[in-house]
Structure 1
Amino acid sequence: MHDLSGDHGVRLPDFIIGGAPKCGTTSLHFILGQHPDIGLPDNEIAFFDADDPIVHPDFLFVEDGRLEWFDVRETAPQSLEWYASRFAPFRDAQAVGEDSTTYLFSAAAPERIHSLLPEVKMIFLLRDPVQRAYSQYWHLIRTARLACSFEEALTEHSSIILGSTYAPHLRRYLASFGRDQVKVQVFEDFTRDKQGSIDDVTDYLGVPRMTLSDAQTWFNRSTYPQKPRLHRMANRIGRRIVAGRYRNHMGKRSGLRQKIGNKLEYNWFHRVNPRLLTAVRPPPMRADTAAYLTQHLSARNAGLSDLLGRNLSRVWKGFEG
């Protein structure tokens, strides 16, 4: 990739929160975003893996019969300029970061990140892989990207299993950056002791510690469909409406069509969804599904406990990796 680090006035990230999704990364972003010496864009950037259809199926779409995608190769300097522009407001911050939770699982991301940002510090949060998969499913339901049961989703959407496969992807980052540039936290530790976890992160980033208040540690609590089957039926319509939101990534699409799509999407999320999402917890996972995932995801994460230097079976129920 073209090196922007020497360009006058360009500020690029000192750290990246690279995943995993549904493991507390939004809460970590929310807290670090309140630190006076840290600059963080509001939304996920999704730059280094935007052209990866495995981790970003929403970024590969058909427009007027033509396949469209995002090009982040070195032959697309305008994409690099777009990336750098995300951090322009934070030129004077002591530490600048970004949060893109799919970087962990992209085969291309580690090399691309290292090429542009060889000294960047990576941060990853990991969660009980079975619970993470279930949480991702309900996130996809809430955002109208699925209209099927959890069991059907497991057979049709490989990203749910991929998102709970940590060990091989962590090894890639450790090989690219070394242990001094890779910080891994466990979600269950983070939720139990946010202050200690944040102290660990700020020390790692080399910025002053921050004392957390209740307001700083509270973030949006997830809501769930009161009637899951009805919500899935509604999503058969909703997923066509919300698909357009991903087509304007990196300024890809604009004009009247995008404006109409944005209006429909806004109405879906602010008028339709609130009437459907009134439960505070999801229905329990089927026991046979949980048993299958525990066995399967333990195998896919073989060696993870050794990689992190702790016995994860004491934290994650049934885990044997």
Structure 2
Amino acid sequence: MALPDFLIAGVPKAGTTALHAALVRHPGLFLPAVKEPKFFLSDGPPPTRGGPGDAQTYQEHVWRREDYERLFDPAPEGALRGEATPFYLHHLDSHARIHRLVPDARIILLLRDPVDRAHSNWTHLWTAGLEPEADFLTACHLEERRKAAGWAAFWHYKDLGRYGAQVKHLYEYFPREQVLLMRYLELRETPAAALDKVCAFLGVRTGVLDHVPAENVTRTVENTRVNAVLRYLLRTGAGFGQHFPVPLRKVFRGPLLALLQRGHGRRIPLKPEDRAALLPAFADDIALLQEVTGLPYDDWLDADRHHTPSR
């Protein structure tokens, strides 16, 4: 069977795309061209409806087992196979599915300050033209309403950052020695050491990788009337786009997105007052994360800490 030996299982907007791009250059590792197969997120076909753009994303799920295994067929003999789907940690049902199929898999988790992560998540969807709410904090307050309406996990700005409960649940299925916890800042500030840490955890040669490519970097989109029209067209197009082939969708979406992301200014900053307002939503879970892992994350509780730029 061609199944993964390791998974980059979390979290969105915490460097998983960059880590994937770095690890594909290691001769002892194989990661498929499909960066987020999302195989373990469902037992069958994914949903067909949700928030803006969700239906198209669901169409990209590799949910049939034969298709999933086929992703790993090109792996060289002896190479460790892996994939990166950063929603696995958040999706609690996926923990049992992973354990049932690949119980010996090693799991890599990149964790990021949950307020920074939420802001980067919102910025990502805003610059993609999909997020209709121009105010970050207001978008966070809409989360429960959006969840009730069936919007996909990437819209769950707060819930995706409650790592304590998620890691605790994961530990019910996998022993701690099979799980590597890393911080997003490790990958950003000391990439060579961080990559060696991952390679040592996986049991492949260290000293091979020394930098992390810039991947999935968020662009600048100003809140102007012209951009409001472009965002409306992109959201509307996302609803119709699910009925057309991917190449045709890109033909129409590409120019609109390029026009929306034409700016070169500063990214939308996280306002200190927004951090202070959102931080209480994570306080109890950060305490739980420290209790479950035995690692310190109390610096995330500092409302005055410096914001790490969105990516």
TM-score (norm 2): 0.81
Q: Name the counterpart of 1:11.
A: 2
Given the superposition, is the C-alpha separation of residues 23 and 316 from structure 1 closer, same or farther in structure 2, using an over 3 Å criterion?
farther
Q: Name the counterpart of 2:217.
A: 221
Q: Secondary structure at the match of 1:262?
A: helix
Q: Name the counterpart of 1:188.
A: 185
Q: In the TM superposition, what is the alpha-carbon distance from 1:153 to its structure 2 partner?
A: 1.9
Q: Which residue identity lines up with residue 170 of structure 1 in the other structure?
A: V
Matches of 1:235 and 1:210, distance apart in 2: 44
Q: In the TM superposition, what is the alpha-carbon distance from 1:283 to its structure 2 partner?
A: 2.2
Name structure 1 gaps, 5 residues minimum.
Answer: 1-9, 63-67, 73-78, 248-256
Matches of 2:251 and 2:274, distance apart in 1: 34
- Could you tell me whether the CA contact under 8 Å between 1:141 and 1:232 is conserved in 2? no
Q: Secondary structure at the match of 1:28?
A: helix
Given the superposition, is the C-alpha separation of residues 266 and 186 from structure 1 closer, same or farther in structure 2, using an over 3 Å criterion?
farther
Matches of 2:52 and 2:301, distance apart in 1: 30
Q: Say which of 14, 29, 47 aligns to 1:38.
A: 29
Matches within 5 A, 1:125-164: 125-149=110-134, 150-158=136-144, 159-164=156-161
Given the superposition, is the C-alpha separation of residues 244 and 207 from structure 1 closer, same or farther in structure 2, using an over 3 Å criterion?
farther
Matches within 5 A, 1:253-268: 257-259=243-245, 262-268=247-253
Greater RCO (Cα-Cα under 8 Å, separation 6 or more): 2
Q: Secondary structure at the match of 1:163?
A: helix
Q: Name the counterpart of 2:234.
A: 238
Matches of 1:124 and 1:36, distance apart in 2: 22
Given the superposition, is the C-alpha separation of residues 82 and 163 from structure 1 closer, same or farther in structure 2, using an over 3 Å criterion?
same
Q: Name the counterpart of 1:272.
A: 256
1:204 aligns with 2:201: yes
Q: Say which of 15, 31, 39 aligns to 1:24.
A: 15
Q: Name the counterpart of 2:167.
A: 170
Q: Deviations over 1:216-254 (max 9, x none)?
A: 544453212134664344222202323567x5xxxxxxx
Q: Secondary structure at the match of 1:88?
A: coil
The number of equivalent residue pairs is 285
Q: Deviations over 1:288-318 (max 9, x none)?
A: 3221211111223332123333322236633
TM-score (norm 1): 0.78
Q: In the TM superposition, what is the alpha-carbon distance from 1:11 to its structure 2 partner?
A: 1.3
Q: Which residue identity lines up with residue 136 of structure 1 in the other structure?
A: N
1:89 aligns with 2:74: yes
Q: Which residue identity lines up with residue 268 of structure 2 in the other structure?
A: P
Measured on the aligned residues, the alpha-carbon RMSD in Å equals: 3.0
Matches of 2:78 and 2:225, distance apart in 1: 47
Name structure 2 gaps, 5 residues minimum.
Answer: 145-155, 305-311
Q: In the TM superposition, what is the alpha-carbon distance from 1:107 to its structure 2 partner?
A: 2.0
Q: Name the counterpart of 2:148.
A: none
The alignment-based identity, stated in percent, is 25
